[in-house]
Structure 1
Amino acid sequence: MLSTLKKITIGYTVAALVAVGCNQHHNNADSKTASTTTPHYTLQAPLPISTAEKQALQYKCNLFYDSMLNKSGFNGGMIVAKDGNIIFEKYKGSINLDDKVPITDSTPLHIASVSKTFTAMAVLKLQQQQQLNINDLFSKYFPAFNYEGVTIKSLLNHRSGLPNYLYFMEDLGWPKDSLIHNNDVLNWLIQKKDSIKNIAPANKHFTYCNTNYALLALLIEKVSGQTYPQFIQQQIFDAIGMQHSFVHFTNDGKIRSKTFDWKGREIPDNNLDEVYGDKNIYSTPKDLLMWDKVLRDTQFLPATYIQMAYEPYSNEKAGIKNYGLGWRMNNYDDGKKIIFHNGWWHGNNASFIRLIKENATIIVISNRFTRNVYKAKLLANIFNHFFDTDVEENESAATTNMVDTVASKSSKKVYPKKK
């Protein structure tokens, strides 16, 4: 596939236990609650783009799509935008691979760890509303939490040193036939601390860990007085107009698309599927583009908070790769920066790439796994931006989302599909 792109002359080189009962959908109201009023954000109109530039970019996007996605079993949607203008948009396949219900621009698909971008920015929104401070210890809000030095910030930038619930819950005997919810993760961290392995000192080094964001979802619930799904729906989706996005939670009544491996075999649910904050947001390329747009101005958050989110916090190793507050990034010597996040859960995978200076966005979502979704990074180069594809692709397979390894352990369905 890559050799095909290299031949394309398009000008570039071709990622007591005080756990809130979040999943019983109630909250402790003993803290100051955030505003429950739905804000409203007006998306800025696209900037002018010449017909010649738009056509040139469309041509390059088509070449990428045909060589990388169309031939790889891709089943989902893709959008590329420049200065707010959609220059390429395409949808392929059907929700259940049976051709009965085609995937369209209004079909929500699981965006996996791209969900972390919403969780992180929701926490910063609560800081802006003076409901919390990211330098606070997590134990300030959950006094029974018995891990020293873990701050909200260290959860956001994956420097908490906590173990991954994808592993320790099972290792310590959580029943495979019992669903795990966010409060279960917190309770077991507290109860089983002496038995948990691989606990590192807080803020010593970066370790990508889904536990961090499961706990941040609990924090949002504790501080806001709303469930995480309610808060994200009201304060982000409804406020922006993301009509085809939602947070999945137990018995939410939503019809969820199935998920498939690269051979087209359905991947069953397992007992990890109800934890949210680290995953479980369903969205569309168009809705994610709206999310991208509202983050580019100062309506949702002031510039100082956006800059805080995009700051690199793990500098113990040299290199361009780093992690901010809910965002992966590449920082280049010339001042250019790529802000992105990949996602991978069961057969769902997603890539959400944002070129800040170039005001360009690349979004790909699929519910049939293909690693070529992550090669969307190649398209950064059509905006005169070099993305080290081989390194980043290896990173996404190894660390961006470890969840697929665990999720695929279950070869038979543990739970019936929610209807």
Structure 2
Amino acid sequence: MKINKYSGCIVLIFITFCNILISCNKSEKINKNSNHSLQNPPIPSYSGINFQSIFTESDSRSANDSKIKVILNKYYKDVWETAKLSGGILVARGNNILLEKYSGYSNYDLKTPITATTPMHVASISKILTSLVILKLVEVGEINFDQKVNTILKNFPYSELTIQDLLTHRSGLPNYAYLTDKNTDKTTLLSNQDILNLFSNTQPELLFKRDTQFLYSNTNFVLLALIAEKITNTSFPSLVNYMIFKPLGMDHSYILQEKYVPYSTLSYYANGKPYNFEYLDLIYGDKNLYTTPDDLFRLSKAMFAPNFLPKNLLEKMFTPYSNEKKGIKNYGLGMRLMVFENGKKIVYHTGWWHGSNAIFIHLLDEKVTIIAIGNKYSRAIYSAINLTALFGDYPLNMEDLH
């Protein structure tokens, strides 16, 4: 698909027209298109998760919950309403939702309200799903963590790099966005394969020797999505649907593809101006998960379930791998971590792309989930991480909520 210099206006006009026609049932239409069965399933299917059996009554209830609800509602009023945030927030203990609210619009021209079924772009939170797909392929023996990337992506020019180097952002690969800015035709929508070809053709130097330091690079997860496709001979969007969305009942989630652009929630600058669709916007693995707080809550609950992934693999996902420098912040396998001196650990991921930003928090000890998603950029979305102090001995300042 070519994009000329007028494409931003054309795409916005097209999106607006299509939203007029289908805004009432867009998420349903997307899911009818995406939730198809694969001809040759790449891994054995599993029966899904019994969400009612994951948590005990004590997991879902606390004597302090009534007080916590008061604080959460005050937080929503002081932060979300004051900042006029556009999106949704959900806070839950076990199965018990303590706060769930939505505000703003998926399309400000049409005044289409954001609801519990409105999929929004969560950007780098997509890395959690990419990591889970890779872990499932490890589980069934299709790949292993120490496997060299070039044994799967044959024209990958860095023979020493492994799958784990990509998962932990310890590869030294530069961010593809900086390379494409200099070396590509910006009138053409790029694919994951285009990114691999760019690295193969230009062979930029690694920024450091593998596994010697941490550097967050979206390139790593673009390549992981390609690895999953090559191993299974299945498109990554279909693979995520088969492995995660369908068995978990994430009925309002999808990986962005060109056919979904007209139906997708728009992304806005802080001043309310919409972002134009651009040449990097169909690349996935590092971003392009559209989902809801409710669907991400189902994912969080699944990660507490005994039959979603083996315990040893989940523990690897939540293990800090970048320990060469002292500090609270670290990274697991597709998961950000805060590891405190008192032994407490926050497992989370943030996301930002264009005007969309989000945070997903998974508290292992307290079985608490905190999710905030916005489609009109505001750093206030990230303040949700301070809510962790309501649930455990996490040394974050509650005053920072404001």
What do the CA deviations read for 1:232-264 (whole angstroms, capped 9, x no partner)? 011100010000000112224661011101111
Aligned AA (1:109): M
State the shift of 1:332 in Å: 1.9
- Correspondence for 1:257: 265
* Structure 2 CA distance for aligned equivalents of residues 388 and 379 of structure 1: 8
Does residue 1:268 correspond to 2:276, yes or no? yes
Shift of 1:385: 3.2
CA separation of 1:190/1:108 partners in 2, compared to 1, >3 Å: closer, same or farther?
same
Question: 1:124 and 2:135 equivalent?
Answer: yes
**Does residue 83 in structure 1 map to residue 84 in structure 2?**
no
Match of 2:211 among 195, 203, 216: 203
1:198 CA drift (Å): 5.7
Residue 372 of structure 2 aligns to a residue whose secondary structure is strand
Which residues of 2 match residues 24-103 of structure 1 at below 5 A? 34-35=42-43, 37=45, 39-45=47-53, 46-48=55-57, 49-50=60-61, 53-98=64-109, 100-103=111-114
Paired residue type of 1:300: F
1:178 and 2:188 are equivalent in the alignment: yes
Deviation at 1:184, TM superposition (A): 0.4
| Other-structure match for 1:284 | 292
Measure the CA separation in 1 of the matches of 2:366 and 2:47.
Answer: 28
1:14-65 Cα deviation digits (max 9, x unpaired): xxxxxxxxxxxxxxxxxx9832646422213454355853321111111111
Residue 67 of structure 1: SS of its match in structure 2? helix
Aligned to 1:297: 305
Asked whether the equivalents of residues 33 and 131 of structure 1 are also in contact (C-alpha less than 8 Å), the reply is no
Question: Match of 1:345, as an amino acid?
Answer: W
SS of aligned partner of 1:314: coil
SS at match of 1:144: coil
Q: Which residue of 2 aligns with 1:245?
A: 253
**Residue of structure 2 equivalent to 1:142:** 153
List per-residue Cα deviations over 1:80-110 (Å, max 9, x = no partner). 0012210111011121124632111110000
The code of the aligned residue for 2:177 comes to: L
Alignment partner of 1:372 is 2:380: yes
* Distance apart, 1:386 and its partner CA: 2.5
Evaluate the alpha carbon distance shift between residue 254 and residue 42 of structure 1 in structure 2; reply closer, same or farther with a 3 A threshold.
Answer: farther
- Distance (whole Å) between structure 2 residues aligned to residue 109 and residue 143 of structure 1: 35
Please name the residue that 1:191 is paired with: 201
Among candidates 349, 355, 375, match of residue 347 of structure 1: 355
What is the deviation of 1:148? 3.3
Report the residue type matching 1:182 in the other structure.
Answer: N
**2:234 is the alignment partner of 1:226:** yes
Secondary structure of the residue aligned to 1:313 is coil
**How far, CA to CA, are the matches of 1:148 and 1:389 in structure 2?**
45
How far residue 119 of structure 1 moved from its aligned partner, in angstroms, is 0.2
CA deviations 1:112-158 (Å, max 9, x no partner) are: 00000000011010000100001101011122211132100000000
In the alignment, does 2:345 pair up with 1:334?
Answer: no
Displacement after TM superposition at 1:180 (Å) = 1.1
Give the aligned CA root-mean-square deviation in angstroms: 2.1
Alignment of 1:300-339 (within 5 A): 300-339=308-347
TM-score by length of 1: 0.81
- Corresponding residue number in structure 1 for 2:144: 133
Indicate if the aligned counterparts of 1:115 and 1:278 stay in contact, CA closer than 8 A: yes
Q: Structure 1 253/147 Cα, relative in aligned 2: closer, same or farther at 3 Å?
A: same
Partners of 1:50 and 1:300 in 2: how far apart?
Answer: 23
Secondary structure of the 1:65 match is helix
State the alpha-carbon separation in 1 of the partners of residues 62 and 160 from structure 2.
54
Quick one: distance in 2 between partners of 1:155 and 1:114?
16
Cα 1:51–1:170 change in 2 (3 A) is: closer
The answer to whether the 8 A contact 2:389-2:397 is kept is no
Q: Any idea what the Cα deviations from partners look like across 1:263-320, whole Å, max 9, x if unmatched? A: 1111111111010000001000000000000001221101100001111100110012
Mind listing any 5+ residue stretches in structure 1 that lack a counterpart? 1-31, 394-419
Q: Which residue of 2 aligns with 1:155?
A: 166
Gaps of 5+ in 2: 1-39
Structure 1 CA distance for aligned equivalents of residues 108 and 360 of structure 2: 24
**Cα-to-partner distance string for 1:177-235 (whole Å, 9 max, x where unaligned):** 11111000001101111xx3563321121000000000000001011221100000111
The answer on whether the counterparts of 1:353 and 1:361 sit within 8 Å (CA) in structure 2 is yes
Conservation of the 8 A alpha-carbon contact between 2:49 and 2:305: no
Q: Distance in 2 between the 1:75 and 1:387 partners?
A: 28
Counterpart of 1:251 in 2: which secondary structure? helix
CA contact (8 A) 2:357 2:375 kept: yes
Any idea what the Cα deviations from partners look like across 1:345-377, whole Å, max 9, x if unmatched? 000000101111011111000101110000101
Give the match's secondary structure for 2:113: coil
Would you say the 8 A contact 2:85–2:378 is kept in 1?
Answer: yes
Q: Following TM superposition, by how much is the alpha carbon of 1:325 offset from its aligned partner in structure 2, in angstroms?
A: 0.2
> SS at the partner of 1:95?
strand
Q: Secondary structure in 2 aligned to 1:288? A: helix
**What amino acid does structure 1 have at the position aligned with 2:107?**
N
**What is residue 26 of structure 2 aligned with on the other side?**
none
Separation (CA, whole Å) in 2 of partners of 1:204 and 1:320? 18
Aligned length: 358
Distance in 1 between residues matched to 2:69 and 2:41, nearest whole Å: 47
Tell me how far apart the structure 1 counterparts of residues 259 and 117 of structure 2 sit (CA, whole Å).
22
TM-score normalised to the size of structure 2? 0.85
In proportion to residue count, which structure has more helix? 2
